Structure 1
Amino acid sequence: MTRRWIVLLAALALVLVAGAVALRFSAVKGLEWTRVVPAGDCRCADGSEFAFWERRADPAKVVLFLNGGGVCWDATSCAFTGEHGESDFYDWSSRGVEPENRSGMFDVTRSDNPFAEYSYLYVSSCTGDAHLGNASQAYTPQLTVEHRGYVNGTAALDHLARHYPGATEVVVVGKTAGSVAAPIYGGLVADRLPGARVTVFGAQSGAWPDHPDFNAGVLDARWGAYKAVPAWAVDELAVRDWGVPRFWSQAGRHDPQLVLGRFDFADDPHAASELARWTSGSTLDVITANEAAIEAAGVRLHSYTAPGDDHGLFEFGKFYTIKVRGVRLVTWLGALIGDAPPGDVGP
């Protein structure tokens, strides 16, 4: 082979490699995130800076993703221990909780991802209050926790309304503890963007309790949630009567156009393990009772319950492989955000 041909082949190889890199960069570029630091009184539990993340795609379709991150309500569980702002109980700063280019619902290259074309606002919890709190709580003379989850979350909502005023579809997705307040945020989105179709999909908080002591002692006394949320979310309910399942019924009654759905693993050992003192019966028993109470209030709650003791969903390949009674979760979820919400699926 002559030197001329060797040079030509080498040049062609460089062109092909450059093309492959460009294609890969183009695909990855769609997953890039922009860090947004809102103004106002936003902060994490330790008083440090709060931020959320944005991925801009179709401005008419938006996912408001309320990340998990654990919860706390006493000096032990709320202590600022561990590294990178994370303890065994909750995330107390925004260090290390930024989104990654993950799999699951964040793999926008998959044709079966119902959110592939959506813009995302990714709101992590760093306040130990399930995106609900507005209180500065002194647990000891050395430990003051800023439970400002509701302040942080509504700052992200303000960004949504300001930068996506023409949105026609908004899906509020809540992960674990982040799904507790998801229906309240769904109602708030509907208030801010009345022209949008709003769907709420909360995953893995179906077993959270409706117990008077938890409602008054944690939601209100520790986190200040009862006083923080809008009037329609309380609607003259007494503090001890205002429990997590009622977030769904209050939101559905406030805006009957909301589409509400939830997902749980039937025997998830982590779903509400820290709340055991306020619950009784199996995880599935609590989930079933909560859903019955919500629907008894006249609110339709679409449900998908998978068998087993698994945990985790949105960032994993199982988001696409879970199938119960012949119905794939991702197909069911596509119907939930579509024009014909699906029937319930269970083990």
Structure 2
Amino acid sequence: MTNIRRALIPLAVLALVLAGYGVHRSGARGEMVWNRVAATGDCHCADGSRFFFWERRADPAKVVFFLNGGGVCWDPRMCAFTGEHGENDFYDWSNSAVEPENRSGMFDTTRADNPFAGYSFLYVSSCTGDAHLGNASHTYSPGLTVEHRGYVNGTAALAYLAEHYPRAEQVVVVGKTAGSVAAPIYGGLVADRLPGAKVTVFGAQSGAWPDNPDFNATVLDARWGAYDAMPGWAVDGLTARDWGVPRFWARAARHDPAIVLARFDFAYDPHATSELTRWLHGNPPDLLAEIDGNEAAIEAAGARLHSYTAPGADHQIFEPDRFYDIRVKRVRLVDWIRALTTGHPPADVHCDRCGP
């Protein structure tokens, strides 16, 4: 409780503490106070441990639903419960090391140019190796059974959003790396739960993920059980098993055309697809060609996907302060995001000299 004593806690947050919702922590700059929320229902991390998410209570009319990354896995080597603090080299398999405090970037709410400064936040970590999509218990070896329950966990946080922010006027679903894979699906689910809210989806750094039948069958279906968990949106006669990752965007757009959809990618981010190489085109694959090809296919399927493609091979954007420094063709990323969320979707931004 040391951090709580040092921070000035708003009365609304103090009320949550007294109500027993969870442990509050203050951010590094003394502004963001987080409440840990124990998820209800059959929610677990990959190792069967308890799943929880985090809340920053601010403006109840404006909410960021943040789907964190955390990596993915689909074989015994990738999914092993090795390493320290609940994470190995491929994914986080428990929540033990995840706390959204001491952040900068978009979590620095003291900056006037932060487009999310006044928002409430729900911070949903991935600890199941399935990009927030799974609902399966998969045995990879005699001593390794993984609870791929990302969709169960994510929709529990979504139910909390709908219950505690019923009058939300604006919800921005932000997906980071692997968390951005499912972001358009959650955008559609938010629109279903909160029909009066304007919903914006901003997914970062999964633009090169493939729509590959082998990947869809081997990983999404057989390992993660994602297709059995998908919402029953009947669109153009296609069932969930007709959806690959890029098609998630088109399905969400056709399900609710009012959703604003947007993505960000570095043109040659090697970390965004490091495990996916065998399902991409070429050896080595041209990541920018994959990103551009996926966007063309999404828009050909009837979606309007706003996009910002930056040069180079960087990876993180949300936590570092360079969130405020990224600029392509004189368009600053934070200004572009602000336009997305204020009813004036901007033109696409794409680097000319994109090389790493």
TM-score higher than 0.5 here? yes
State yes or no: 1:91 paired with 2:100.
Answer: no
One of 317, 335, 340 as aligned partner of 1:331 = 335
Matching of residue 119 in structure 1 with residue 120 in structure 2: yes
Q: Give the equivalent residue in structure 2 for 1:34.
A: 35
Q: 1:239, 1:114 → 2: CA distance?
A: 34
Q: Unaligned stretches of 5+ in structure 2?
A: 1-5, 10-25, 352-356
- 1:312 maps to 316
- The 5 Å alignment of 1:1-347 reads 28-232=29-233, 236-237=237-238, 241-280=242-281, 281-347=285-351
Q: What is the CA-CA distance between 1:50 and the residue it aligns to?
A: 0.2
How far apart are residue 242 of structure 1 and its match? 1.8
The superposition leaves residues 295-345 of structure 1 with CA deviations (integer Å, 9 ceiling, x where unpaired) of 001110000000011110000111000000000000000001111100000
- Check conservation: 1:206, 1:262, Cα contact below 8 A: yes
Determine if contact 1:44/1:126 at 8 Å carries over to the other structure: yes
How far is 1:26 from its partner?
11
Aligned residue for 2:82, secondary structure, equals coil
User: Could you tell me the TM-score, scaled by structure 1's length?
Assistant: 0.91
Give how far 1:264 is off.
Answer: 0.2
Q: CA deviation at 1:30?
A: 3.4
The answer on whether the counterparts of 1:233 and 1:251 sit within 8 Å (CA) in structure 2 is: no
Identity percentage over the alignment?
73
Larger proportion of helix: 1
1:237 to partner: Cα distance: 3.4
Distance 1:41 1:21, change over 3 A: closer
Equivalent residues of 1:56, 1:119 under 8 A apart: yes
Deviations 1:110-140 (A, max 9, x none): 0000000000000000000000000000111
Quick one: which amino acid aligns to residue 256 of structure 1? Answer: P
Letter in 2 for 1:304: Y
Unaligned runs of 5+ in 1: 1-19
Name the amino acid aligned to 1:227: D
- The code of the aligned residue for 1:41 comes to D
SS of the residue aligned with 1:313?
coil
Alignment partner of 1:303: what SS?
Answer: strand
Cα 1:75–1:256 shift into 2, 3 Å: same
Deviation at 1:238, TM superposition (A): 5.9
Number of aligned residue pairs: 327
Q: Matched residues in 2 for 1:21 and 1:282: separation?
A: 48
C-alpha contact (below 8 Å) 1:226/1:239 kept by paired residues: yes
Counterpart of 1:15 in structure 2 is none
> Secondary structure in 1 aligned to 2:350?
coil
Q: How far apart, CA to CA, are the structure 2 residues paired with 1:66 and 1:267? A: 22
Q: Which has the larger radius of gyration?
A: 1
CA change 1:238–1:217 in 2 (3 A) is: farther
Q: Is this contact kept in 1: 2:27–2:33, CA < 8 A?
A: no
Query: Could you tell me which amino acid in structure 1 is paired with residue 222 of structure 2?
Result: A
Contact preservation (8 Å) 2:27, 2:103: no
Structure 2 Cα separation of the partners of residues 109 and 265 of structure 1: 27
TM-score normalised to structure 2 length: 0.89
1:234 and 1:36 map into 2 onto residues whose CA distance is: 35
Report the AA paired with residue 93 of structure 2.
W
Q: CA deviation at 1:141?
A: 1.2
Amino acid of the residue matched to residue 69 of structure 1?
A: G
Deviation, 1:241, is 3.7
Sort the Cα spacing of 1:233 and 1:103 in 2 relative to 1 into closer, same or farther, 3 A: farther
CA distance in 2, matches of 1:186, 1:269: 27
Greater Cα offset, 83-92 or 229-238: 229-238
CA distance in 1, matches of 2:94, 2:53: 12
3-state SS of paired residue (1:262): strand
| Offset of residue 98 of structure 1 | 1.6
Deviates more, 1:274-283 or 1:115-124: 274-283
Residue 273 (structure 1) shift = 1.2
